[in-house]
Structure 1
Amino acid sequence: MNSLAAWLETHAEALDSDPSRASEVLPQLVRAGAAAVGVPETLGGAGGTIADAIDIVAAVAQRSLTAAFVLWGHRTFIEYVQRSDNGVLRERTLAPLLKGEIAGATGLSNAMKYLSNIEALQMRATRRAEGFTLDGSLPWITNLRREGFIAAAAFEHEDGTPPSIFAIPHDAPGVQRSDDLDLIGLRASNTAALQVSEVSLDASYRLTADARNWLLHVRPAFLGLQCGMSIGLARRALQTTSEASAASRDSIRAEVAEAEAKLGEQSAHLRTGVLDGTFLERPAALFQLRIDLADTVTRAVSLEVQASGGRGYLRGQTGTARRVREASFIPIVTPSLVQLKAQLTQHRPVSVA
C-alpha cells in the first residue's frame, strides 16, 4: 500500500480535475491489493472482513476521494458477487474483478432509494423464453470504465413478480455509456450515465431474483464502505490542521481534539456495527452514523480551512481547496443526507400525548 499512497499523494489534484486520468485509477488500486481486502482467500481475495475493506477505503480517501469513490464502487460490486447465490456469475466475474480486468460499478443507488420507499425502480425487465429483455436508464454511475465494466442494476418485472438485480456487461448489445458527467471534482472517477435498451440477458447474469430481501442484507456493506470515504477525508483534514503552524492551530486546538475524538468513536461504531449485525437489525443506526460522519467531515474541513489561512486559497499550495470540494460531495452521495433524514423520521416511534 505504500506505493499506492505515494502515487495518490502525487496525483490527487489531477485525479480530481482531469478526466483523462480515469484509466489509471483502478489499475493502481488493484496492483496494491486494495480491492481484494475482505474477500475470502478461497475466492482469490486477501482475506479479512468487510470492516478491513472499509479501513482500506478510508486510507485511500485520506489521499484522494476520487480514488476512494472508484474503490467504493468496485469493491461494493465485488461484495454483490460474493453475496449472490449465482455461482455461474461469481465464477465468470470475480477473478477478472479482483485482477482489475473489468471494473465493477454499483448502479444500485436507485435500488437503495426503492428499498427505502423514496422512488420507484427506473429499469424494466420482460421475461422471454431465452431469458430477459432489459430496458431503462440510470443517470449517475461511478466506475463505468471505458476499458470494460459490469454494472449492477435493479429491474421491475412487467409480469408483477418481485424485482431482480442483474449484472450488466458493457459489451452486451444495447448497453450504452454516456460521456463522463461534467462534475466540478472527482473527474477521473469514470462517472457517467447508463442506458439499457432491449438488452437480452439470461439468468446467469442475475445477481438475485429477490431484490428487496437481498438489498437489506447488502446495505450495511454498501453504506459502510461509503462511510469509509467520510472517515478518510475527515482524518486527513484533521491531520493537516494539526500539522499547521502553532500560531494557526493554537486557538482551535480544543476543537480539533474534540473532532478527532468524535471521529474515533464513529469509526469504532462503524466497525462494530458491520461486524456484529447491528446495522442489519437496526438500519436506522447506520443511517444516523452516515449523517453524523458527514457532519464530522464538514467540521474537520472547516478547521483545516481556518488553520491553513490564506495559503489554503492559493492554487497548488495545499490540498485544502480540493478537500473542500470533496467534502461538498459527501452529503449528496446516494442515499443523500436529505434522503437519510427522511428515512429516520419513518424509523422513529410516534409519541402519543
Structure 2
Amino acid sequence: MTLDPELAAWLDAHADGLDCGSTDAAALLPRLATAGLIGAGVPIAAGGSGGSCSSAIGAVAALARHSQAAAFVLWAQRVFIEYLLQSPNRALAEAYLPGLLAGTTAGASGLSNAMKFLGGIEALQVEARRRTDGWQLDGRLPWATNLLAQRFVVAVAASDVAGGAPAVFAVPATQAGVQRSADLDLVGLRGTATAALALSQVPLGPEHLLHEDARSYLPRVRPAFLGMQCGLSIGLARRCLASVRGSEDSGRALLAEPAGAIAADLDAAAARLSAGVDAGAFVDAPRALFLLRIQLAELAQQAAQLELQARGGAGYLHGRHGGFARRWREAAFLPIVTPSLVQLRTELARGSARQAA
C-alpha cells in the first residue's frame, strides 16, 4: 500500500515528535481516518473501504515505514474494530464503529494479558462479578495503547469469580470506576497515549459484552491481533532496506547482497502472512503465525543493523542520521511488544513438548 503523499509528508515531519511525545497523539487519528487507513479491510457495509485483513496489515506496514508510533496507534485502532466485527453483539458494533472509523473515538486493545492467558503464560488480571443487571469489573491493565483521554474504549478480558467462562468486554473511558494513569515513561513511542488502567467496581451491562466466552473468541481474533502487529516489522524493515539501497557511499556496496537476502525473506514471509490470515489458516493452527511473527521481528532487526552499517559514523551524529536513531529504537521494541518473542518461543516449546509426550 502507498500512503497519500500529504499524510506521508506529515508523518516524515512529525515522526520524531510522535516518538518523543512532542507531537500531540490526538492529532494522529483524524489524519489516519481521512487517508482511509482505519477502514482498510473493514467491510463496506460496516462503513469501511472493503478488502481483507491483509489490507489492514498493509496499512500498518505502510505507516511503519514512516513512523512506528503512528503504525502502533493504527494497530490498536484497527484491532479493536476487528474485535467488534467478530463480536455477536451487533448493537455494540453499530454504536462504536462510526466514531472509530472517523477517528473521533480511540480504540484500545487491552487484550495483551488475555493473549498470554490463552497461551497459558499468565492469569487474567481483571475479575468479573455477576450482578442482576450485568457485571462488575475489578483489576488492572498495566499497559494499553491509544488511550486518548475521555475518548477511548478498551477491550478487556475478565475471569468469572464464580468459576464460569472468562468473558470479553468493551469498556468506555467514561464508565464509572475507570482510572487512567499518566502516560507511561517510555523510551520511545511516547506519542501513542500509552498508559495503565485501574478498574474499580466498574459496572457493565449486556451492551458492553464483546463475547461471553473468551476461550472461543480470542483464537478467532488472534490472527488479526498478531497479523496486524507483524505490519510493524514489515514496514520498518522495508524502510531500513530502502535506506541501505540509497546509500551514496560506494564502500557500502558489499551490503547489497545481505540486503537483497533480507528483502527476499521479508517478501516471502509477508506473503505467507497475508495468505494465511485471509484464508483463516491461523485460527486453528497458530504455531505458523507465531513463527512468522518471530521471523519478521528478527528480519526488521537485521535490516536496522544493515542500515547502521550503511550509514557508518554519520548514523551516530545528531542531524545526520535521517531518523535512523528513532528506527533503531523502533526495532528494539519489536521483540518485546506483547506477546514478546520470548513468550512466543515459550509457547512454541510447550507445544513441541506436548507433541513429544
Deviation at 1:338, TM superposition (A): 0.3
- Within the alignment, does 1:295 sit opposite 2:298 as a pair? yes
Find the aligned partners of 1:249 and 1:267 in 2 and give their Cα distance. 27
Deviation at 1:347, TM superposition (A): 2.2
TM-score, normalised via structure 2 length:
0.96
Match of 1:345 in 2: 349
- Within the alignment, does 1:168 sit opposite 2:171 as a pair? yes
Match of 2:39 among 36, 41, 50: 36
Q: Which structure 2 residues correspond to residues 78-89 of structure 1 after superposition, within 5 A?
A: 78-89=81-92
- Within the alignment, does 1:66 sit opposite 2:69 as a pair? yes
Find the aligned partners of 2:318 and 2:79 in 1 and give their Cα distance. 34
Q: Deviations over 1:97-151 (max 9, x none)?
A: 1111110000000000000000000001111111111111011000001151000
Match of 1:242 in 2: 245
- Within the alignment, does 1:182 sit opposite 2:185 as a pair? yes
**AA in 1 matched with 2:52:** T
Match of 1:329 in 2: 333
Find the aligned partners of 1:259 and 1:243 in 2 and give their Cα distance. 16
Deviation at 1:19, TM superposition (A): 4.9
Find the aligned partners of 2:218 and 2:184 in 1 and give their Cα distance. 27
Of 298-307 and 278-287, the range deviating more from structure 2: 278-287
Q: Deviations over 1:272-297 (max 9, x none)?
A: 11012221231000001101111101
SS of equivalent residue, structure 1 residue 96: helix
Contact kept in structure 2, 1:102 and 1:148, CA below 8 Å: yes
Q: Deviations over 1:190-233 (max 9, x none)?
A: 00001111111101101000101100111000000000000000
Match of 2:286 in 1: 283
| Alignment CA distance shift 1:243-1:199 (3 Å) | same
SS of equivalent residue, structure 1 residue 176: strand
- Within the alignment, does 1:13 sit opposite 2:20 as a pair? no
Match of 2:109 among 90, 94, 106: 106
Q: Deviations over 1:316-349 (max 9, x none)?
A: 3211111000000000000000000001112226
**AA in 1 matched with 2:132:** A
- Within the alignment, does 1:91 sit opposite 2:94 as a pair? yes
TM-score, normalised via structure 1 length:
0.98
Where structure 2 has 5 or more consecutive residues not aligned to the other structure, the ranges are none
- Within the alignment, does 1:155 sit opposite 2:188 as a pair? no
**AA in 2 matched with 1:346:** R
Find the aligned partners of 2:166 and 2:284 in 1 and give their Cα distance. 22
Match of 1:209 in 2: 212
Of 304-313 and 19-28, the range deviating more from structure 2: 19-28
- Within the alignment, does 1:262 sit opposite 2:265 as a pair? yes
Q: Deviations over 1:290-325 (max 9, x none)?
A: 011111011000000000111111223211111000
Moved over 4 A (4+): 349-353
Q: How much identity, in percent, do the aligned residues show?
A: 50
Find the aligned partners of 1:328 and 1:341 in 2 and give their Cα distance. 17
Contact kept in structure 1, 2:114 and 2:157, CA below 8 Å: yes
Contact kept in structure 2, 1:248 and 1:308, CA below 8 Å: no
Where structure 1 has 5 or more consecutive residues not aligned to the other structure, the ranges are none
SS of equivalent residue, structure 1 residue 3: helix
- Within the alignment, does 1:309 sit opposite 2:317 as a pair? no
Q: Deviations over 1:255-284 (max 9, x none)?
A: 111111111111111111101222123100
Deviation at 1:20, TM superposition (A): 4.9
Query: What is the root-mean-square deviation in Å for CA atoms of aligned residues?
Result: 1.3
Find the aligned partners of 2:248 and 2:309 in 1 and give their Cα distance. 12
